Amino acid sequence: MRTQVGIIGAGPAGLMLSHLLHLQGIDSIILENRSREEIEETIRAGVLEQGTVDLLNDTGIGERMMREGQVHDGVEFQFNGMRHRINMKKRTGKCITVYAQHEVIKDLVAARLEAGGKIIFNVSDVSLADIDTSQPKIYFRQNGVAEEIDCDFIAGCDGYHGPSRQTIPAKKRKEIKHVYPFGWLGILAETAPSHPELIYSNHETGFALISTRSPEIQRYYLQVDPTDCLDEWSDDRIWTELHKRVDMDGWSLNDGPIIQKSIVSMRSFICETMQYGRLFIAGDAAHIVPPTGAKGLNLAIADVQVLAKGIVQYYDQNELNLLERYSQICTRRVWKAQRFSAWMTQMLHRNFKHTPFEYGLQLAELDSVTSSIAGATYLAENYVGLPIEW
């Protein structure tokens, strides 16, 4: 097989890249090691930055998001038994939209297939070769049969565990990691929304986050020990903890049947260089942020916006300038998102090793940010998404 851009991974990064390239007449093939059903059902992110929403709309795939997604002008922070609202719209002119990642995936897959795009699902043994030449290759197996794709560029959009990043020689990549002593237990519950906006709560027994998915399904998260197992968290224990961390005088969280639960650990990771030869890595393949800032999917989409523009510049003008700056443009913005995500994580989670003095400072920081126009504007600017600095 031959294509202009070989894309590994049908997550938000790979699918959006293929879509953007297609709109500019550039051909790509996506290789995905899971099935279509699996990628369309995996529960992950929920918050889309304004820039992500604008891109989906501008490229013709925002219709269902505009119908079913929920636009939030503000976000709430709860601590010391009080709630404080940050009006993002007023502070920045921008909003966030709550629309599940797997719905974005469904919309992108449908758009690619409808336009004749090629996504090969259920592949195995993907490996990359000749990435430092002008004709890189991807080897893989489909139904057990060995196949090869020759391409001009490879986009490694295969998440943290995919093979792309590992293909960059170890000496040429610097990997920086940080592990937080926190985990998130996430649930989907069948009940009506409890509150019109997201609530991030710092309670003395731990962090909790109230989010939503639809008028019928709600998404809640609890800070847990990252080594906890799901069988230690009965539904009763989850509801007791959630109520304790978010209920207030005269307000109680809606509960209902729990239809999904999972635990994730929290870490930051960044690979410094997102390019080697003709290989460009994007999204979680290149960086991971803790979910407290709601940035992961949005960073993946921003990366491929830069990459697509660089590839278009190459084919249109035979000019490599933007592609050569890809890594620098993206990592600068990724570091800012890392900082914001680490800040939100540290400010909102209960660190049980903290002294009473450190806990007091943490609450005072939340108080300072939410009670100052400058503080609230700063948080809101980052939350709704920073611009790409080309």
Q: How many CB atoms lie within 10 A of CB 172?
A: 12
What x-and-dash track marks residues 187-216 binding ligand PHB by CB under 6 A? -----------x----------x-x-----
User: What 3-state class would DSSP assign to 6?
Assistant: strand
The single residue of 12, 19, 22, 72 carrying the catalytic annotation is 72
- Strand 174-190 with 217-224, pairing: antiparallel
Complex with ligand PHB: residue 6 or 293, whichever CB lies closer = 293
Q: How far apart are the first and last CA of the chain?
A: 34
State how far Cα 43 lies from the chain centre.
12
Complex with ligand RFL: residue 82 or 230, whichever CB lies closer = 230
Kindly determine how many residues on this chain lie close enough to bind ligand PHB according to the rule CB under 6 A. Answer: 10
Rule CB under 6 A: choose which of 36, 44, 106, 244 binds ligand RFL: 44
Residue 276 is among the residues annotated as catalytic for this protein = no
The single residue of 295, 309, 314, 349 carrying the catalytic annotation is 295
Window of 76-84, 243-251, 295-303, 337-345 that interacts with ligand RFL by CB under 6 A: 295-303
Site residues (CB under 6 A) for ligand RFL, limited to 210-269: 264
Residue 295 is among the residues annotated as catalytic for this protein = yes
Phi and psi angles of residue 117, each rounded to the nearest 5 degrees, phi first: -70, 155
Complex with ligand RFL: residue 97 or 194, whichever CB lies closer = 97
Q: Which secondary-structure segment (H or E) carries 34?
A: none
With b for 16 or more beta-carbon neighbours within 10 A and e for fewer, the 283-296 pattern comes to bbbbbbbbbbbbbb
How far is Cα 307 from Cα 281, in angstroms, rounded to an integer? Answer: 9
Window of 34-42, 45-53, 141-149, 160-168 that interacts with ligand PHB by CB under 6 A: 45-53
Going through 59-142 in order, the beta strands assigned E by DSSP cover 70-72, 74-79, 82-87, 96-98, 118-120, 124-129, 137-142
Window of 50-58, 158-166, 290-298, 359-367 that interacts with ligand PHB by CB under 6 A: 290-298
Cα angle at 179 between 49 and 275, to 5 degrees?
60
Rule CB under 6 A: choose which of 70, 92, 97, 292 binds ligand PHB: 292
User: What 3-state class would DSSP assign to 146?
Assistant: strand
47 near ligand RFL, judged by CB under 6 A: yes
Rule CB under 6 A: choose which of 3, 28, 33, 275 binds ligand RFL: 33
163 near ligand RFL, judged by CB under 6 A: yes
Q: Which secondary-structure segment (H or E) carries 21?
A: helix 12-23
Residue 326 is among the residues annotated as catalytic for this protein = no
219 binds, among ligand RFL, ligand PHB, none (CB under 5 to 8 A by kind): ligand PHB
Structure tokens at 284: 């979680």
Complex with ligand RFL: residue 9 or 310, whichever CB lies closer = 9
User: Residue 143: which region, alpha, beta or left (left: phi > 0; alpha: psi -120 to 50)?
Assistant: left
Shortest distance, CB of residue 317 to ligand PHB, whole angstroms?
39
Give 236-275 as a DSSP string. Answer: HHHHHHHHHHH-BTTB------EEEEEEEEEEEEEEE-SE
Closest residue to bound ligand PHB by CB: 46
User: What 3-state class would DSSP assign to 184?
Assistant: strand
Q: Which residues pair with 29 in a beta bridge?
A: 6, 118
158 near ligand RFL, judged by CB under 6 A: yes
329 near ligand RFL, judged by CB under 6 A: no
What x-and-dash track marks residues 87-116 binding ligand RFL by CB under 6 A? --------------x---------------
Query: Applying CB under 6 A, which residues contact ligand PHB?
Result: 45-47, 198, 209, 211, 219, 291-292, 294
Footprint of ligand RFL (CB under 6 A): 8-14, 31-34, 39, 44-47, 101, 123, 126, 157-159, 161-163, 184, 186, 264, 283-284, 291, 294-298, 300
Q: Would you please indicate which residues are annotated as catalytic (active-site) residues?
A: 72, 200, 291, 295, 383
